[in-house]
Chain A
Amino acid sequence: MSNRFLLKNKTILITGASSGLGRSIAIECSKMGAVVVISGRNKERLQDTYDNLIDPGKSQIVCDLTNMDSFDALCEELPQLDGVVMCAGVPNSTPVRHISDIIMREVFEVNAFANFKLSRFLIAKNKINKGGSVVFVSSVASNRPYVGNSIYSASKAAIDSFAKVLALEVGYRKKIRVNCISPGIVPTKANDSAFSDDDLANQENKIPLGFGKPVAIANGCIFLLSEASEWITGIDLVVDGGQLL
Chain B
Amino acid sequence: MNINDFISAFAEEFEETPEDRFRPDTVFNQLGEWDSLMSLSILAMIDEIVGKRVTGSELRSCETIEDLYNLSMNK
Contact = CB atoms under 8 A, between A and B. Distances in A.
B56 A98 contact: no
Nearest to A100: B48
Contacts of A194: 36, 39-40, 43, 56, 59-60
Contact of A94 (B40, B55, B59, B60): B40
Nearest to B29: A196
Consensus secondary structure, chain A interface: loop
Interface string A180-191: 000000000011
A195 B43 CA distance: 12
Interface in A148-164: 148
A193 B45 contact: no
Given A100-B48, A194-B43, A95 B56 contact: no
Contact of B40 (A100, A148, A191, A196): A148
Tier of interface size on chain A: 10 to 19
Contacts of B41: 95, 97-98
A199 interface: yes
Consensus secondary structure, chain B interface: helix
A192 interface: yes
Interface string B12-56: 000000000000000000000000110111011100100000011
B75 to A, nearest CB: 15
A11 to B, nearest CB: 38
B71 to A, nearest CB: 15
A193 B56 contact: yes
B74 interface: no
Given A100-B48, A192-B55, A194-B43, A95 B60 contact: no
B36 A195 contact: yes
Contacts of A196: 60
A93 interface: yes
B2 interface: no
Given A97-B41, A98-B41, A148-B40, A195 B56 contact: yes
Rank and list the top 5 A-B pairs by shortest CB-CB distance, nearest first. A98-B44, A194-B56, A194-B39, A147-B37, A148-B40
Interface of A: 93-95, 97-98, 100, 147-148, 190-196, 199
